[in-house]
Every structure is written in structure tokens, then in C-alpha cells.
Amino acid sequence: MVAFGYSLLCEQRGPRELVSDAVGAEDAGFDFAVISDHYFPWLDSQGHAPHAWPVLGAVAAATERIPLMTYVTCPIMRYHPVVVAQKAATVALLAGEGRFCLGLGAGENLNEHVVGAGWPPVNVRHEMLGEAVEIIGELFTGGYVNRSGKHYRVDSAKLWDCPEGGVPIAVAVSGEQSAAAFAPVADAMIAVEPLPDLVSGFDAAAGTTLPKIGQQPICWDPDRDAAVARGHDQFRWFAGGWKVNAELPGTAAFAAATQFVKPGDVAGAIPCGPDVAAHVEVVRPFVDAGFTHVALVQVGGDTQPDYLTFAERELLPALREEYGKPDVPAIRVR
């Protein structure tokens, strides 16, 4: 049984439109919704980057049942961990019991460089994320937090408005080292690659079976050629892989790094066009790897209303016929 989610991609949509899309996703029957948290789009052609957290508050008020998640917030530079904890607790209360999960990751230079502190190497970023997760988790317990750590100081911080029992935390991992580090303190795993060894390793380190949340881009359109062209224009940025994507500093760098990526390369990596079967099949590696949740990304901001109609009428019924439907898609504190 797999939960299928809707991705509110801040890089390709304005704030009002994102809220409208979230309502549309709930009405269409998606099992959950995730939101990106960027200061920049990946490419200029995407054209947007509103602040994710005010959008989340509006989405929480405008929707009724759909679980929400950041996918992902980076709590190591642009935001101090105590601020992330306060934002998450507030959104969780606005959304109502059990609807919000805080998804965390080590971030990208693209978004974090704006504070002018430099971009640390990956081992340091993981150290910072580990310390940040500890601080956030401690604040969710309700008491005062004081800390003088390697990367962060906290002086008498306390969350005065927080759901009883705290907020579930999902952490993005990419390999054996990060899985071993974060599985013991996370309520769920986030990953963008469907790697079975990552799933089994995470559960082994966690000492239990936890939810796994993946994400898969698609580019639906009634016209396949239009879908391929749009996918190439707005989503070729992924071609370098995440080890590269985390290091590039701006949209010009992503444009330069992907200048030789061809439309056919993009079409070979993500399904483009109207074929429902292709969109259903592309998530199979996640399902086979043991992921419990897969958030779909529809490429192209202005295509979202038509895509939501397609999802309600054709895509979601086909996905559920193939993979089943979960009883409780929300992520819980373990």
C-alpha cells in the first residue's frame, strides 16, 4: 500500500497559486502534499521562489484533511534550528492533529549562500544537521533548551505553542553514513533515489520499520512534444545528480552545467506526455525498494490546474489500482 502525494514546488509557482493548488490536490484525492523550501528556483525559466512557511500556514488554513510536509527544510544556515522548531510547531497547530511532518535535509548552496556565511563541505553540513535535529527534537519535548555546541548556541529557548507529543521529523538521507546517523532520531526517511539498500539500512539503524518518502517528477501534457520541451526547459537541472546539485551556487551555474543536456535526455529520465501507464510505471522502483510514500512533481507551474483534473480522473485511480491505497498516510511520531 503506497500513499501518493502532490508536490507544491515553490520554484515554479507563486504563493497564491500554491495555496489554490493545495486545495485542488486535496479535492483531487491526493493522499498527502509536500512543499519545497527554496530561496531560488533551479533555473530562471521556473520563475518563482516564494517563502514556503507563510504558504504552509495558508495551506493549513485552506485545506481540511490532507497531510502536509516540508520536502525539505534546511535548518543549518538560512534558518537557525530554534526558528525551524517554532515554525514547525505553529504550522502543526494550524493544520490540526496529525497533519504536519517536518522534513529536514542538509540543503543546497543554491539557497543557503544568501546569508553570506560560505558553504561548508558535506561532512560539516551533516554534522550541523545532526546537531540541528537534536535541538529541534529537544524543543518539541516542551522544556527550556540551553546548548553550547560545535555549531550552534541556544540560550533558554522554549516553544510556548507546540502540539502535545511534538511534531514528527523526517530526515533526508543519501547513503549508508547519513542513514546510520539519522535513522535513530527520525520518525521517517526521505530520499530521492529508490535504493533498496538505503531502505533496509535505515530500518536496521532505526531498530524498527519507519515510513519512507520519495519524490518523482513527471511532465504530463496532452501533447507529448510540448511536455518534452517544457521538461527540458524547466527540469534539466537534475541531470548532474545531487552531489553536484548541492554545490552549485545559482541559476546561472545550473544553466551552464546542463547546457548540453538534450530534450531526449530529459524524456528518457522522466515520463513526458499523456500516457497514464508511463506515469504509473515510473514509481515502481520506489515501491519495489520499500517506499511507503511517493510525492509526484508535475513540471510546469501553469499546467497545475489541468494536471490536477487529469490526476483525479485518470492518474490516481490507475496508481491505486496498481499499488493500493494506504489507510493512514500521515507520518506519526514514533
Catalytic site residues? 38, 108
Q: Please, which residues have CB within 8 angstroms of residue 204's CB and are 6 or more apart in sequence? A: 183
- Burial annotation 298-334 (CB, 10 A radius, 16+ → b, else e): bbbbebbeebbebbbeebbeebbeebeebeebbbeee
d(CA 300, CA 12): 7
Q: E strands within the chain?
A: 3-8, 32-35, 68-70, 100-104, 145-148, 153-157, 169-172, 188-190, 212-218, 293-298
**Which of these, 200, 185, 91, lies nearest to 130 by C-alpha position?**
185
Q: Is 283 helix (H, G, I), strand (E, B) or coil?
A: coil
> How long a stretch of residues is the chain?
334
Contacts of 208 (CB under 8 A, 6+ apart): 334
Dihedral class, residue 80 (left if φ above 0, else alpha if ψ from -120 to 50, else beta): beta
CB atoms within 10 A of CB 65: 11
Q: In a 3-state reduction of DSSP, which class is residue 90?
A: helix
Cis preceding-peptide flag for 154 (omega within 30 of 0): no
